[in-house]
Chain A
């Protein structure tokens, strides 16, 4: 299931068993959060669509679609916080602070095959891993961080409030139906248009979920019926949506966790491989430039005849 978050199994296999177990557990729980929230969003949209379109097929389709959309959106928002610092990469690899100081031309030349390069990089990674590096989150400017968080929190809050309303309509549908019946019985609704168009289905069909096709009327009855409880329930759903984000942002097990360490080491390995291959190519070209054949070829190209 971890692949749903875009997590790779190979990174877990390089951790100690206890580290891997814990990391799998916390990312697994994160996926559970996402699934539960996406389920809530799907249920909410199912309710809205059922009320507006009065079609079970449309309601289920819209519910599934929105559920998947929410799953992706949450994935994007949560994982956007896992951002290893470029500075860390630089300090640990390019500056050769730890393990590349012995990577001179002689050593690079000695790495003849891919297997040798892999073995060398594996060794370097193992050494860096034991240094207990801290992979800090990328330090962005305050304004950028503030705006980004404001944007993400606003999106999550907006989504949460919409979902909360849908869930409340679903959970309290029996109470809303009872209220509508009581209103009709008490003759409080004197407006015929409301009775004919909002409280009566065309062709004498039965209503789905709530016995009115007006979302505004239903929300009005819901708000009046729940009173302050509506605010509390909305607030709880907003917390549910924001909690995983805050957790990703604040929990040391995510930002400074073992998976992040493996992810950074993986990035280092990629850069290291390209560094070695590039250096080998440079050396190859250099040897060619220093050879007598190159000198002869250059002479011929410049003067139009072979060097005597």
Chain B
């Protein structure tokens, strides 16, 4: 009995060892190794190419009637799903919102007031986009238990998908070197995220309606835009700012989930932090700092 324990174990060892080394026989190795790898990789590449083509600007998308601008947003969500929304906006209103922003009297202290004004002015103009976004979410048919988070992710991925553009006020100029990278002198959305717009007053922030139109924006422009969109859809969100980091992110209040990093509103409400300047960044990831406060909620 004592001997059986060792003998059987040794037998198992040698059999398994022999089986592994049987793979030296080319015929067996060939049998185990699937030749589908190339086909799979070809399919993946074709799919990626298809997504890239689909997301590329199509002149037909921007064909507009006089006085009306047709805007198209295309993006890929966290799960790789492709989305497209298109809507029309009165061109005069877009010009008006830029003028309104430039004329705001901002002394540098009341950031909440500035955000609130830009928000109010943009809300009406952005109605068509909000409706189109709601429609897209509805079309996606998320299961009811995931709908809340998936809808949030849908909007966040739409904003994150747009390459970063640095926005500076009068005190800044392009090109420039920042602690987080170097930026060109072109005020354009660039694929490498190195676009830079200078002289955007006040405070180097675009109104949400402007971002909706030209999609140029850095942290606070994006947070403010996502805030307006989500707030109108009924989500409990906030624009969060950190003086320590000189950064802004979207804050999301969730009753049944917790994340390690969060900020708070003046009333003490917890808002989890969502980085909107980088693609595919999930909620609660990649945000440092300990002084996050809501500037608008």
> Is A237 a contact partner of B20 (Cβ separation < 8 A)?
yes
> Is A221 a contact partner of B26 (Cβ separation < 8 A)?
no
Report A225 CB to chain B, min CB distance, Å: 4
> Is A186 a contact partner of B13 (Cβ separation < 8 A)?
no
Contact of A26 among B6, B19, B42 (CB under 8 A): B6
Q: What per-residue 1/0 map shows which CB atoms of A158-190 lie under 8 Å from chain B?
A: 000000000100011011001100110010101
Q: Which residue of B lies closest to A254 (CB)?
A: B6
Q: Is the interface of A mostly helix, strand, loop or mixed?
A: helix
Q: What per-residue 1/0 map shows which CB atoms of B9-26 lie under 8 Å from chain A?
A: 110110011011001101
Chain B residues 1-55 with CB under 8 Å of chain A are 2-3, 5-6, 9-10, 12-13, 16-17, 19-20, 23-24, 26, 29-30, 32-35, 37-38, 40-42, 45
Report B194 CB to chain A, min CB distance, Å: 20
> Is A188 a contact partner of B29 (Cβ separation < 8 A)?
no
Taking each of B2, B6, B12, B29, which has the highest tally of chain A beta carbons within 10 Å of its own beta carbon? B6
Assuming the contacts A174-B26, A243-B13, A247-B9, asked whether A229 and B38 have C-beta atoms less than 8 A apart, the reply is no
User: Bound complex: CA of A152 vs CA of B37, how far in Å?
Assistant: 37
User: Bound complex: CA of A252 vs CA of B38, how far in Å?
Assistant: 52
> Is A29 a contact partner of B3 (Cβ separation < 8 A)?
no
> Is B10 a contact partner of A29 (Cβ separation < 8 A)?
yes
User: Bound complex: CA of A16 vs CA of B26, how far in Å?
Assistant: 48
User: How many of chain A's residues touch chain B, expressed as a range?
Assistant: 35 or more
A251 within 8 A of B: yes
Assuming the contacts A36-B17, A171-B23, A172-B29, asked whether A182 and B3 have C-beta atoms less than 8 A apart, the reply is no
> Is A233 a contact partner of B2 (Cβ separation < 8 A)?
no
Number of A-B contacts (CB under 8 A): 83
Q: What per-residue 1/0 map shows which CB atoms of A14-40 lie under 8 Å from chain B?
A: 000000001000100100010010001
> Is B34 a contact partner of A225 (Cβ separation < 8 A)?
yes
Q: What per-residue 1/0 map shows which CB atoms of B113-126 lie under 8 Å from chain A?
A: 00000000000000
A64 within 8 A of B: no
A239 within 8 A of B: yes
Residues on the B chain within 8 Å of A246, using CB: 9
> Is A244 a contact partner of B41 (Cβ separation < 8 A)?
no
Residues on the A chain within 8 Å of B5, using CB: 247, 250-253
Residues on the A chain within 8 Å of B30, using CB: 174-175
Report B35 CB to chain A, min CB distance, Å: 8
A204 within 8 A of B: no
Report B40 CB to chain A, min CB distance, Å: 7
Q: Is the interface of B mostly helix, strand, loop or mixed?
A: helix
User: Bound complex: CA of A258 vs CA of B30, how far in Å?
Assistant: 48
Residues on the B chain within 8 Å of A167, using CB: 20
A224 within 8 A of B: yes
Assuming the contacts A229-B32, A243-B12, A252-B2, asked whether A172 and B23 have C-beta atoms less than 8 A apart, the reply is yes
Report B16 CB to chain A, min CB distance, Å: 5
> Is A240 a contact partner of B17 (Cβ separation < 8 A)?
yes
> Is B29 a contact partner of A227 (Cβ separation < 8 A)?
no
Contact of A186 among B10, B12, B19, B42 (CB under 8 A): B42
User: Bound complex: CA of A178 vs CA of B20, how far in Å?
Assistant: 21
Residues on the A chain within 8 Å of B23, using CB: 171-172, 233
> Is A172 a contact partner of B20 (Cβ separation < 8 A)?
no
Residues on the A chain within 8 Å of B40, using CB: 224
Report B30 CB to chain A, min CB distance, Å: 6
User: Bound complex: CA of A30 vs CA of B127, how far in Å?
Assistant: 76
User: Bound complex: CA of A22 vs CA of B10, how far in Å?
Assistant: 14
Report B295 CB to chain A, min CB distance, Å: 43
User: Bound complex: CA of A160 vs CA of B3, how far in Å?
Assistant: 27
Residues on the A chain within 8 Å of B41, using CB: 183, 188, 224
Q: What would be 10 A-B contacts, judged by CB atoms less than 8 Å apart?
A: A29-B6, A172-B23, A174-B26, A175-B29, A188-B41, A224-B40, A226-B33, A247-B10, A253-B3, A253-B6
Chain B residues close to A by CB (< 8 Å) = 2-3, 5-6, 9-10, 12-13, 16-17, 19-20, 23-24, 26, 29-30, 32-35, 37-38, 40-42, 45
Chain A residues close to B by CB (< 8 Å) = 22, 26, 29, 33, 36, 40, 167, 171-172, 174-175, 178-179, 182-183, 186, 188, 190, 221, 224-227, 229, 233, 236-237, 239-240, 243-244, 246-247, 250-254
Known pairs A29-B10, A171-B24, A226-B34 / 17 extra A-B pairs, C-beta < 8 Å: A33-B10, A36-B17, A171-B23, A172-B32, A174-B30, A175-B30, A186-B42, A188-B45, A190-B45, A224-B41, A225-B34, A225-B35, A229-B32, A233-B23, A244-B13, A247-B5, A253-B3
